[in-house]
Amino acid sequence: MTGAAPPIARLQGFGWRPLGRKQQVIADLDLTVAPGERVLLAGGSGAGKSTVLRAFAGALGTTVAGDLSGRVEVDGPAGLLLQNPADSLVAATIGREVAFGPENLSLPREQIWSRVHECLDAVGLRYPTARSTAALSGGELQRLALAGVLAVRPGLLLLDEPTSMLDDETATTVREAIVRAAESTGAAMLVVEHRIGPWLPHVDRVVVLERGAVIADTTSDAFVRTEHERMLRAGVWMPGAVAPAPLDVPAELVAADSPGADLDADSITVDLELRTLRGTVRTRALEHTSARLAAGAITALTGPSGAGKSTLLAALAGLQPLSAGTITGAQPPFSRRRSRQLAAASGWAPQNPEHGFLARTVRDEISLTAGKLGRRVDVDALLELIGLSDLGGANPYQLSGGEQRRVALVAALAHRPAAMFLDEPTVGQDRQTWAAVAGWCAAAAAAGATVAVATHDTDLIALADTEIAVARRQAAA
């Protein structure tokens, strides 16, 4: 060996075929991360970025079923931060959540608690350790997850879209907490994120993946200078690049038979019920909120994470019971309709795509609702629109996160409803998909549909005709 330090993590001839797929999604990949190095892993949706993180986390072939080939080496513990921090919660209070790692390391009790306080401080969470994890907002929950990871003193931080679900301001606090933690602990960092701009100043190196292969491996400065054009074509959100023009989606794919209705939410109040083992907990999500959705226009529901955008959207879609207030416009009201009658007039795309899948192939998934309603759907044209022509026969559950979002979105809208309700439709999407989603909204609105999007995506908000800002409310019922 020459004087260089041995790598903290290395892939050699790495290949991965998930259970149920015929082909490897990654073949013969080599990648090395040096101690303390900060690497951004970029690339379009389905390029294999999450797979690389899962490989380093030691999850492939153990927790995640499939065939692994080649070698995966990691020196010491690797901490993994997921897109949705709720997926990694193990405890009911923030103290016990952070203590989980030190407990696994068999530390004595005093050391466990000193690490808990140290790590909560490091991420800026200044609550008593007995605070319930259920009482944290999305950004706080992600910082808690980071504290939980830091508590095992990892030499490598694996970050899988840690800020994509958050609004800009909250994302900034989370990102700062991560960067500060990496700096103070000297841990190496491997981050995957679609909006790469804010990360670039904080990384030493950018590795670009395409279809499971490294197509660029360079410093962040050189990356911005030399790869700009190629990255835009690959769908990567380059810093400073303006949003792509919305795709010109043919009206026959999206236009409803009849125009949509103006929907009016008049001073609505919504209480959410959370069933726990120890009884039902009630929180007030919206209080005396009013909103108007005009037909033939795009309305953006905006506001910080946790403000109640999704709840307002679901209420307007007739999917969320109200505690008080009324929603008028549709006859009969959406909330009182039977399932099929509701679907005939409306389409709702959930934030979490995988809870929506009902069919075994992407193709069946997309034509399902239209089939129930007796409407014809041009599945091939839709697949092409969202760049999934090759995956029509695949099982929706086996797609990558970004691909699943695209399928869920099209499945919710393929039957050409006159009212569209989209919950964060552009999170984790590359530029091509963004253009397709934006184009779909614009074409549907132009054809008279009522289009509502709950979003924190500033580019999408700019495209909307009206913005309704939902303020976060503090009090709980």
Q: Classify 308 in phi/psi space as left (phi over 0), alpha (psi -120 to 50) or beta.
A: left
Beta sheet of 324-328, edge-to-edge order: 279-293, 263-276, 324-328
Interface residue with other proteins among 91, 179, 446, 461 (CB under 8 A) is: 91
SS3 state at 269? strand
Interface residue with other proteins among 39, 42, 89, 256 (CB under 8 A) is: 89
The owner of tokens 């790598």 is: 7
How many residues line the site for other proteins (CB under 8 A)? Answer: 79
The Cα–Cα gap between 30 and 41 comes to: 14
- Give the contacts of 470 (CB within 8 A, at least 6 positions apart): 286, 289, 301, 302, 303, 307, 308, 309, 312
Interface residue with other proteins among 31, 55, 149, 261 (CB under 8 A) is: 149
Using the contact rule CB under 8 A, the part of the chain among 78-86, 174-182, 430-438, 458-466 near other proteins is: 78-86
Q: What is the maximum span of the chain, computed from C-alpha positions, in angstroms?
A: 76
Interface residue with other proteins among 27, 34, 68, 92 (CB under 8 A) is: 92
User: Which token pair is 375?
Assistant: 């409407």
Interface residue with other proteins among 104, 114, 290, 458 (CB under 8 A) is: 104
Tell whether residue 5 is a contact of other proteins (CB under 8 A): no
Tell whether residue 96 is a contact of other proteins (CB under 8 A): yes
Kindly tell me the sign of the dihedral angle through the C-alpha atoms of 180, 88, 286, 279.
Answer: negative
Tell whether residue 216 is a contact of other proteins (CB under 8 A): no
Q: Which is nearer to other proteins, 146 or 291 (CB)?
A: 146
Preceding omega of 425 cis (within 30 degrees of 0): no
Tell whether residue 105 is a contact of other proteins (CB under 8 A): yes
Tell whether residue 123 is a contact of other proteins (CB under 8 A): no
Q: Determine the Cα angle at 398 with ends 397 and 403, to 5°.
A: 85
Sequence length of the chain is: 477
Q: Which is nearer to other proteins, 29 or 99 (CB)?
A: 99
Tell whether residue 196 is a contact of other proteins (CB under 8 A): no
CB of 211 to other proteins, least distance (A): 24
Using the contact rule CB under 8 A, the part of the chain among 3-11, 54-62, 209-217, 387-395 near other proteins is: 54-62
CB of 103 to other proteins, least distance (A): 5
Using the contact rule CB under 8 A, the part of the chain among 36-44, 57-65, 291-299, 457-465 near other proteins is: 57-65
97's enclosing H/E stretch is helix 94-104
The Cα–Cα gap between 416 and 377 comes to: 9
Tell whether residue 280 is a contact of other proteins (CB under 8 A): yes
Tell whether residue 68 is a contact of other proteins (CB under 8 A): no
Using the contact rule CB under 8 A, the part of the chain among 4-12, 151-159, 212-220, 235-243 near other proteins is: 151-159
Tell whether residue 182 is a contact of other proteins (CB under 8 A): no
Interacting positions 370-389 with other proteins (CB under 8 A):
372-373
Alpha-helix residue ranges (DSSP H) falling in 317-378: 339-345, 362-373
- Give the contacts of 303 (CB within 8 A, at least 6 positions apart): 167, 309, 469, 470, 471, 472
Interface residue with other proteins among 1, 22, 23, 108 (CB under 8 A) is: 108
Q: Which is nearer to other proteins, 154 or 244 (CB)?
A: 154
Q: Which is nearer to other proteins, 59 or 469 (CB)?
A: 59
